[in-house]
Structure 1
Amino acid sequence: MAGFLSIFRRALDQDMVDNVNGFWSVLLLALCSVGAFLVRYVTDPISCWHPVHWTSSHSSYADQTCFLTDRYYGTNPSLPSHQVREPVPSYHLWIPLILVFQALAFKVPNTIWNGGKHLLSLNLDETVSSLNNVQLTNAENRQAIFSDAARVFGSLLRRNRLFLALLYLFVKLLSCVNLIAQLMFLTIYFRQYLAIRVGSSAGFNMDSIIKPLLIKDVLCDISVRKMTNVQIFTVQCTLPITEIYEKMFTFLWYWVFLLAVITVLNLVLWAGYLFLPFLRDSRIAAHVKAAKGSSPDEHSITRFISSFLGIDGVLILSMISQNSNELVAANLTQHLYQVFQETEEEPDVDAVGPGATGTEVNLPISDLSS
């Protein structure tokens, strides 16, 4: 049971916007896909007008045959009966699969993030979970664990200072591209009236842009074989299931539109926080001050971020702050700052000499013979 509930737990190495894009939107589209498939069997998906002399078996066969076809003819009353009719395609049979592909498109950025973040050799999700549990221990053990975690973090951050942050922003950019592409797809192929009104008021020829995949009123040809002769009946049909699909895609359009606005703003805020010093440095300084009790030197904080934490360290501390609490982030930041001060106090130049066992020993230059 705990394993099943963990599926709905928010990932601790992403923010809420990422979780809505990578999990809840995928779940929503998956449910819509299942619903679009089941609605065929719990409602009357098509209704056709039949001649009076047809029996119930004739009518049932005509309804099923017309529903399972994907090409109809338009019901234009001004069109002469002798004129060749142009076929009109309908994609109502493909709606569940279309929704599945939309769900997969939402999952792609999250998959790239989960695959690329391990290149840092740091499992941030498990780390945040462990730091949350540390708060339940006594003060002495808690400080020792934070000190060990800071040294491990410091060792890893020396090898990666920018890769994780760039990957995270790239994943958010992919989410924005996916949302904008899905918004255009829903507008063009599913006749979203709000977008049509906005586009028309902006001067666009929406009639040439909109290409609906679903139609309601159609003419359907049915071929009936009698002995060696094939007789073709043309019946007029309406697709009530199209109305259900249109309402579903209208809801999805508003969902994607609001999520696109939020995701774009979220990307801008994250980029500003990671790369603008006046937003980034003040928060790190506040965490050091909260744990240390005194205001650190501004130049020291700048060196701490640029030469020790890097942009990746700022991202990690921000994730810990969002997914744990400010106290945990402040404690870890203070211990990282102590590790940074220790590295600054070490001699700048070391000499290395081989030991008897083949290991390397660091010796100050003053101890070496000329």
Structure 2
Amino acid sequence: MAVFGSWFGREVDQDHVDSINGFWTVLLLVVCSVGSFALRYITTPISCWCPAEFTSSMISYTQESCFLKDMYYNKSMSVNNDDETKPPSVPSFHLWIPLILFFQALAFKVPNIIWNSCKHLLTLNMEETVESLKSVQLTSPENRQASFSDAARVFGSLLRRNRFFLALLYLFVKLLSCINLIAQFMFLTTYFRQYLAIRVGSYADFDIDSIIKPLLVKDIYCHVQVQFLQNTQIFSVQCTLQITEIYEKMFIFLWYWVFLLAIITILNLVLWAGFLFLPFLRDGRIAAHVNASKGARPNEPAVTRFISSFLGIDGVFILSMICRNSSELVAADLTQHLYQVFQEKEREWQNQRNLYTGETEGGAVVTGATGTIAALPMRTLPHCAESPEKAPTM
């Protein structure tokens, strides 16, 4: 079940649009693929009008033989063994429909496979992190705060090495999903809603009818070769591929599904890119999490430094995923502890900077020739000592 969930389920580092693309659409196409394969055995896929002299066994053989062919003819005429008298052939891909649907499902799964294969190379294991943080909420307040503090310090050390690669990988995977949806929409429009493609092509002054042909045909003429003793006879029978009607309805449903999903996925990509790279969309949410426990207005300059110099784009992305897949409370607690780690780092950096520049708060500094710095606090001076007066400037 764990392997099944990792391959087909929605993980904690994906949003609902990723779940629709990588799980529900794949499941839908797999069901359609298996169903289209089973239709030929549970229904009558073809019906042929055979000559009166045909027996029932000959009719069954004719229908099965015609169904297994992928080349038909568009009119009935007398046929002999001379290939030059054969009418123009009409191809049909009804036998390949299960495989076509399978490759469509695989195309929807490829972006998710790329994401699951590459994300662990760039940052921490987000699945285990979110699950552990969710379970921490059920413990005592002391243990909860200690766990969030430890997680924040681990986050801080990892975010220093990864600033934006994980977020760019996620946006790239979403871009692949958009490209896949656009390509699948064009494929379905061209070959299964051909009249719509021809109409659009005529508006653009492009004769698409002379280039593409439908993948499925319905009314055809099939040539069957029958051997009686030493004589070989070829019969031309008129057939109707009844299974084509079911396939057409199925692909029309998939056309609307892919069309709506393409719009949703493109909008989702734009929103994610805006949230990650536009400060006025992301800073307010991070500031609200930082100051959730204080009930005060956020310190905007400090929050801006916190996001730009500490979190980075990857940190914003990870916190957003934790918020989407866990809760606002978990994201707020982790953000507050990350902000405390940031303040500690900032104070350490400021102390090192003051030591290097020779500036100490409330004290005098003496710099030697070797570059060493000695600070003499003011409180160590005798009370009777007088401050040296500054010489007047001319």
**TM-score past 0.5 threshold:** yes
1:229 to 2:231 alignment: yes
Match of 1:348 among 352, 357, 367: 352
Take 1:120 and 1:24, find their aligned partners in 2: how far apart are those partners?
Answer: 27
Change in Cα spacing, 1:230 to 1:178, as seen in structure 2 (3 Å) is: same
> TM-score by structure 2 length?
0.84
Take 2:172 and 2:127, find their aligned partners in 1: how far apart are those partners?
Answer: 19
CA contact (8 A) 1:71 1:89 kept: yes
What is the aligned partner in structure 1 of residue 385 from structure 2? none
> Equivalent residue of 2:283, what SS?
helix
1:291 to 2:304 alignment: no
Match of 2:109 among 107, 110, 114: 107
What is the aligned partner in structure 1 of residue 337 from structure 2? 335
1:125 to 2:127 alignment: yes
Change in Cα spacing, 1:97 to 1:134, as seen in structure 2 (3 Å) is: same
> Equivalent residue of 2:236, what SS?
strand
> Equivalent residue of 2:87, what SS?
coil
Take 2:188 and 2:159, find their aligned partners in 1: how far apart are those partners?
Answer: 43
Per-residue deviation, residues 179-210 of structure 1 (Å, max 9, x unmatched)? 00000001111125556555655665453454
Question: 1:131, CA displacement in angstroms?
Answer: 1.1
Per-residue deviation, residues 247-291 of structure 1 (Å, max 9, x unmatched)? 000000000000000000000000000000000111111111113
Take 1:328 and 1:238, find their aligned partners in 2: how far apart are those partners?
Answer: 61
What is the aligned partner in structure 1 of residue 12 from structure 2? 12
Match of 2:93 among 91, 106, 110: 91
Per-residue deviation, residues 308-339 of structure 1 (Å, max 9, x unmatched)? 00000000000011111111111100000000
Gaps of 5+ in 1: 352-364
What is the aligned partner in structure 1 of residue 368 from structure 2? none
CA contact (8 A) 2:13 2:126 kept: yes
What is the aligned partner in structure 1 of residue 264 from structure 2? 262
CA contact (8 A) 1:187 1:210 kept: no
Written as runs of structure 1 = structure 2, the 5 A alignment for 1:142-157 is 142-157=144-159
Question: 1:54, CA displacement in angstroms?
Answer: 0.8
1:271 to 2:245 alignment: no
Change in Cα spacing, 1:146 to 1:76, as seen in structure 2 (3 Å) is: farther
Question: 1:138, CA displacement in angstroms?
Answer: 1.2
> Equivalent residue of 1:295, what SS?
coil
The one-letter code of the counterpart of 2:328 is E
Per-residue deviation, residues 115-152 of structure 1 (Å, max 9, x unmatched)? 11101241112211111111111111111100000000
CA contact (8 A) 2:189 2:196 kept: no
What is the aligned partner in structure 1 of residue 73 from structure 2? 73
What is the aligned partner in structure 2 of residue 31 from structure 1? 31
The one-letter code of the counterpart of 1:99 is L
Change in Cα spacing, 1:323 to 1:195, as seen in structure 2 (3 Å) is: farther
CA contact (8 A) 1:292 1:334 kept: no
What is the aligned partner in structure 2 of residue 358 from structure 1? none
Take 2:6 and 2:116, find their aligned partners in 1: how far apart are those partners?
Answer: 16
Change in Cα spacing, 1:21 to 1:285, as seen in structure 2 (3 Å) is: same
CA contact (8 A) 1:176 1:264 kept: yes
What is the aligned partner in structure 1 of residue 54 from structure 2? 54
Gaps of 5+ in 2: 78-83, 357-371, 375-394
> Equivalent residue of 1:249, what SS?
helix
CA contact (8 A) 1:272 1:279 kept: yes
What is the aligned partner in structure 2 of residue 22 from structure 1? 22
Per-residue deviation, residues 62-116 of structure 1 (Å, max 9, x unmatched)? 0000000110001389xxxx96411111000000000000000000100110011
What is the aligned partner in structure 2 of residue 312 from structure 1? 314
Count of equivalent residues:
350
Question: 1:228, CA displacement in angstroms?
Answer: 3.2
What is the aligned partner in structure 2 of residue 190 from structure 1? 192
The one-letter code of the counterpart of 1:175 is S
Take 2:142 and 2:74, find their aligned partners in 1: how far apart are those partners?
Answer: 79
The percentage of counterpart residues that share the same residue type is 71
Change in Cα spacing, 1:163 to 1:174, as seen in structure 2 (3 Å) is: same
CA contact (8 A) 1:192 1:253 kept: no
CA RMSD of aligned residues (A): 2.3
The one-letter code of the counterpart of 2:309 is S
What is the aligned partner in structure 2 of residue 40 from structure 1? 40
Question: 1:30, CA displacement in angstroms?
Answer: 0.2
CA contact (8 A) 2:164 2:312 kept: yes
The one-letter code of the counterpart of 1:63 is Q
Take 1:169 and 1:241, find their aligned partners in 2: how far apart are those partners?
Answer: 41
Question: 1:226, CA displacement in angstroms?
Answer: 2.5
CA contact (8 A) 1:75 1:219 kept: yes
> Equivalent residue of 1:60, what SS?
helix
Take 1:225 and 1:212, find their aligned partners in 2: how far apart are those partners?
Answer: 33
Change in Cα spacing, 1:209 to 1:146, as seen in structure 2 (3 Å) is: farther
Take 1:221 and 1:186, find their aligned partners in 2: how far apart are those partners?
Answer: 30
The one-letter code of the counterpart of 1:348 is Q
The one-letter code of the counterpart of 2:75 is T
The one-letter code of the counterpart of 1:253 is W
